[in-house]
Chains A and B, each alone.
Chain A
Amino acid sequence: MLFAVLARKSFKRNLQYRMAHLLQNIGSLVFGFVYASIWAGIGAASPLGSYGPQGMVAYVAFNQSVLHIVLFLTNGLGLEQSVRTGHISLELMRPTPLFYQTVSREVGNIAYQALYKSVPLFIFYFLFFRLPLPSHPAVYGWTALSLLCSAYLAICLQYLIGIAALWTTESRWLFWVNYACHLLLSGFFIPLEWLPGWLRHVSAATPYPFIQYHTTRLFMGLEGPQPIIGSALWGALLTALCLGATRLARRKLEIQGG
């Protein structure tokens, strides 16, 4: 119940900034437009494998739309800020686990971003690029489930980045490492099968392909729902890591701020 309230509050707080986020969406549109234009330009001279030029535009358009659900989360779930201000001590004193509190807050944030950022972006791309939609209704359900798993994996990664601040005080640089890894290893811009061999192996050893690549291919009807099992396994592993890190953090707490 408490967690639902935290998520709802976080959602409502975001509603205050709808106009600002509308402007942000214009920026996101341009980014997606650039990526799609690059593939359209390449597609003019190449068949682009099993995707085809139109398929690649659909691939990057879907990926760009869901970035607000799987990448543009609160930096370290706000934990770094809490460490800097000393507020983390209060959060750890509360009779609810830190992990579930922060996850709940971020769930509200992601729900808002999905509704006010990802959906409008996808609708725009759908109309502008005349994107194909899945014909089988089950695909929508599997894609939604896969996106939920992706969002959860992204939350766990952000939590680990945030909690690292208890040791390093500043963990902003970890946020950028995660951002860079995501761009390269998640198949966000380049389908993983087109990466050089060694990079493909690196990517396969991380959760990043389960955050975007498989979800997008599932939506495009290029693969079935089996990879969701992989997402769930990564989710379990990252949850264990998050809870373990929280346990260690309780013994490491140093009050900063004044």
Chain B
Amino acid sequence: MLRMYRMLVIASFRSRMQHPFNFVFGTLMAAVVNVVEFSLIAVVLSRFGSVQGWSTYEVAYLYGAILLSKTLYRTVASDVHHLEKYLVSGDLDQMLTRPVPVLLALMAQNVTIYVAEFLQSAVMLAISLSVLIGSGQTSWLAVPQTLFVVLCGAIICFAIGLATATAGFWITRIRELQVITEDSARFAAQYPLSLYPKWLRYVLCTAIPVGFANYIPSLYVVRGELGGWILAATALFTAGCLALSMRFWRFGLSRYQSAGS
């Protein structure tokens, strides 16, 4: 299965590189947008010091962790996010006839390596961790813990993305739903959830659980709050999210009716 995925990914990557100019500029511009987005909050924090007790480096940690998680998810499961175009055009029908699981085929289509996002999030995590470790706020154990947090975060982002895509089997157009469940939820998770009112915090930790992708585990990893058990709880929660979304996907696929011509 993994060998097949690798072959499909290489083929997809080769087709992308047929337009190297677009690839290079697209990468550069993605980097510019992400840097600007974070510099907005960095400028504010450098002027006012902190936001509800969270320093610039702690916010950078949250930002870097969720960005890296999202980037991993979008790289490994590229066209799960773009299921709408297959549903609208009817191209999903062809995938159903292939001797490859539909989900695997979707994950391997149009694979994009988000170089800018990878670099930016890794650099942000590296800088914030080195400062926090250097100041004695946390120890070197935070490094492997962060890798674990990012892995769990990527799986949670995938689970949310898959569940949202599955809704497309009933409503076909899912872009607007993705704005809520993926874009705006992830955007909210870039900052400490303690900023938001209780109801929004509950939503971000249950219905759209991006809080577990960075904020909840980082309370322990970078601030030493709660206790080590929260990492085990995060892993358990992540496994639950994945299992639920896969189950929902299989159910949705069994209800698929072609919409194309």
Contacts and interface: CB of A to CB of B under 8 A. Distances in A.
A121 B188 CA distance: 18
Interface in A20-52: 20-21, 23-24, 26-28, 30-31, 33-34, 37-38, 40-42, 44-46, 48
B25 A38 contact: no
Given A33-B196, A37-B196, A189 B40 contact: yes
A172 interface: yes
A183 interface: yes
B226 interface: no
Interface residues of A, number: 36
Interface string B22-48: 100110111011001101110110011
A170 interface: yes
Given A27-B180, A37-B195, A184-B40, A42 B25 contact: no
Contacts of A33: 188, 196, 200
Given A30-B188, A31-B184, A31-B187, A38 B26 contact: no
Contacts of A241: none
Given A34-B187, A40-B195, A23 B179 contact: yes
Contact of A30 (B49, B173, B187, B197): B187
Nearest to A175: B29
A244 interface: no
Contacts, number: 99
A258 interface: no
B225 interface: no
Interface string A189-216: 1100011100100000000000000000
B15 interface: no
B177 A42 contact: no
Contacts of A38: 41, 44, 51, 191, 195
Given A30-B188, A31-B184, A41-B195, A24 B179 contact: yes
Contact of A176 (B33, B179, B180): B33
Contact of A184 (B19, B39, B50, B52): B39
Nearest to A185: B36
A45 B55 CA distance: 13
Nearest to A174: B29
B44 A34 contact: no
A196 B39 CA distance: 11
A173 B43 contact: no
Given A41-B195, A170-B22, A27 B51 contact: no
A190 B44 contact: yes
Contacts of B194: 41
A27 B179 contact: yes
Contacts of B41: 38
A177 interface: yes
A180 B32 contact: yes
A42 B36 contact: no
Nearest to A37: B195
Interface string B187-206: 11001101111001000000
Contact of B184 (A20, A30, A172, A199): A30
Nearest to A40: B195
A183 B25 contact: no
A99 to B, nearest CB: 26
A167 interface: no
A26 B196 contact: no
Contacts of B185: 30
A23 B176 contact: yes
A23 B164 CA distance: 14
Contact of A42 (B19, B26, B44, B196): B44
Contact of B43 (A34, A46, A194): A194
B183 A184 contact: no
B180 A26 contact: yes
B43 A195 contact: yes
Given A179-B33, A183-B40, 7 more contacts: A20-B176, A23-B177, A30-B180, A34-B184, A46-B48, A176-B32, A180-B29
Interface of A: 20-21, 23-24, 26-28, 30-31, 33-34, 37-38, 40-42, 44-46, 48, 170, 172-173, 176-177, 179-181, 183-184, 189-190, 194-196, 199
Chain A to chain B: the 6 pairs with minimum beta-carbon distance, closest first: A27-B179, A23-B176, A30-B184, A180-B36, A173-B29, A41-B52
8 contacts: A27-B176, A27-B180, A30-B188, A34-B187, A46-B48, A180-B29, A183-B36, A184-B36
